Structure 1
Amino acid sequence: MLLSSGYEEANQGGSRVSETDSFIQEVTEEVRRDRLFALFRRYGWIAILAVLLIVGGAAWNEYRKSENRAEAQATGDALLEALDRDDAAARAEALGAFDAPSEEAQIVVDLLAAGEALEAGRAEAATETLGAVASTSGEAPEIYREIAAFKAVLAAGTRLPPEERRVRMEALASSGGPLALLAEEQLALVDVEEGRTEAALTRLQGIVDAANVSPGLRRRASQLIVALGGELGSGTGQ
C-alpha cells in the first residue's frame, strides 16, 4: 500500500510538473507572439516599403528596357530609310539631317554621311563633317575620332599641303592604335611626293615586317617597294 501510494503521489507530482512546464511554454510563446506583433506594428512599414521598392524597381527596369528596345528599333528603321535613297547625294543629305539618340550613334551617322558625301563628289562637305567628328570631345570611343581624322586627311587629298598631311598622320602613327600602320602607309606616300624615296622605302619595309599588318596592307606596301625600285627584305612573310 505504501509503495502504491508513493507511486501515485509521484505520478501526481510529475503530472503537476508537466502541467507547469506546459503553462510556462504557452506563456513564453504568447510573449514571443506579442513581441513579434509589436515589432511588426513598429517596423512592419519598413518591410512593406522594401517590397514595394523591389517590385517597383523591377517594373521600372523592364519599362526602361522596353523603351530602349523601341528607341533602338526606331533609330535603326530611320537609318535604313536614309540609306535606302536612290543616290549618294540624297543619302548624304538624309544622314546629315539625322538626329541620333546618343553621341556614339551620332558619330557613326556622321561617318556614314561623310562617306556618302565623298561618293557624291562633295569632298569639302565630307572633310568638314569628318573634321567635326575628329574634334569631338566626350565619352565616345577614341577609335571613332581616329577614323574621322584619318578619313579627313584622305578626303582633303592634295588640298592639304604635304607638311600638314604629315603632321596629322604622324599623330595617328605615333598613337599605336589600330590605324597606326595605315597612317604609316600615308606617310610613305607623302615621302614619295616630297622625293624622299629612301625614307619611303624604310617606312614601307617597316609596314611589311610588322607583326600585326593585314594581308592587304602588306601586299600594297610590297608592291610600292617594288615600284620604287627597292627590294623586299627577308622579313616580308611572302
Structure 2
Amino acid sequence: MSNPDSFISEVTEEVRRDRLYAMFRKYGWIGVLVVVGVVGGAAYTEWTKARDAARAQSFGDAMLDAVDLGAPEDRAQAMAAIPADGGQVALKDLMLATDAGSDKAAALAALDKLIADQTQPQVYRDLASLRRVMLVGKDQPIADRRAALEAIAVPGRAFRTLAAEQLAYLLIEDGKKDEAIAALAALMQDQEAPGGLRQRASQMITALGGTPPEPSAAAEPSADAG
C-alpha cells in the first residue's frame, strides 16, 4: 500500500474512532440506565420474594393457631379474621369448609363460592369441587355428583385420580359392584395414583368380594406417596 493510501486509511480509522467516542459520550447514559435497571430489577425481585415468603409464613402461622382452637365457632371466627389475598383466600375458604366441626350448609356455601370464583387457580377450584362432593354426600343426586367429578377426572388435572376414586364409590352407591371393582382395579394400575389411594382401592376391592390385581411395575415408584 502506498503512503497516500496508508495515510488515508489511518485518517479514516481515526475519524471512525472519534465518531465512536462521540456516540459513547452522547448515548452512553442509556447503557448505564440499562445496567442500573437490570440490577435494580433483580434487587426488586429478591425483595418481593422475601416479602411474599414472610407474608405466606405469617398467614400459615395464623391459620395453624386458628386450627388449634377448641370450639368450631372459635376456629371459624379466628380464620375469618385472618387477612388473605390471592390464593390465600382459596386456602382459607377450604380450611373453613373442611373443618370437621363446621356447619354443613356454611361449608357448602364456602365451597360454592370458591368453585365459582374464576380468579382463583383451577387447582383450588378442583379441590373445592372434590371436597364438596364428599361433603354433600347423598343429599345430592348421584348424577350431579358424577358430573362434578368427571370434570376433574380428566388427564392433566391435579386431582384426577382422587376424583376417579370417588367415581368408583358412586358406582358402589349405585349398586354397580362389578363396574366399581373394575374402576378400582384400574386405579391400582394407574402410575399417577398415590400409594395411599391404591391401598384404599385394594381394600375396597377385597371388601366387595373381588381380587385386587398385582401392582403394575409403572405404579411401583409412587407406592410410598400419600
- Cα distance change of structure 1 residues 217 and 139 upon mapping to structure 2, 3 Å threshold: closer
- Cα displacement string for residues 207-231 of structure 1 (whole angstroms, at most 9, x for unaligned residues): 2333433332222222222222x22
1:112-131 → structure 2 map (5 Å cutoff): 112-115=95-98, 118-131=99-112
How big is the alpha-carbon RMSD for the aligned residues of Structure 1 and Structure 2? Answer: 3.3
| Gaps in structure 2 of 5+ consecutive residues | 217-226
CA distance in 2, matches of 1:224, 1:42: 78
C-alpha separation in 2, matches of 1:81 and 1:177: 30
Match of 1:144 in 2: 124
**CA contact 1:209–1:237 (8 Å) conserved in 2:** yes
Secondary structure at the aligned position of 1:237 is classed as: coil
Q: Normalising by structure 2, what TM-score?
A: 0.72
Counterpart contact for 2:168–2:180, Cα < 8 Å: yes
The C-alpha deviation readout for 1:6-45, integer Å capped at 9, x for no partner, is xxxxxxxxxxxxxxx9xx99xx68x977875665456513
What are the superposed Cα offsets for residues 69-97 of structure 1, whole Å, 9 maximum, x if unpaired? 13431342143124213425434333334
TM-aligned CA distance change 1:169 to 1:60, over 3 Å? closer
CA distance 1:121–1:215, shift in 2 (3 Å): same
Of the three residues 43, 51, 56, the one matched with 1:70 is: 51
Give the count of matched residue pairs: 208
Verify the 8 A CA contact 2:62 2:82 in the aligned structure 1: no
Which entry has the higher C-alpha Rg, 1 or 2? 1
Distance 1:56 1:211 in 2: 47
Match of 1:237 in 2: 215
2:90 alignment partner in structure 1: 107
* Alpha-carbon distance in structure 2 between the residues aligned to 1:208 and 1:56: 54
| Contact 1:79-1:95 at 8 Å conserved across structures | no
- Give the % identical residues: 27
Q: How does 1:29-108 map to 2 (within 5 A)?
A: 40-41=21-22, 44-85=25-66, 86-87=68-69, 88-101=72-85, 103-108=86-91
Q: Taking CA–CA contacts closer than 8 Å with sequence separation of 6 or more, which of the two structures ends up with the larger relative contact order?
A: 2
Separation in 2, partners of 1:36, 1:131: 70
Paired position in structure 1 for 2:223:
none
Q: 1:187 to 1:75 in 2, by over 3 A?
A: closer
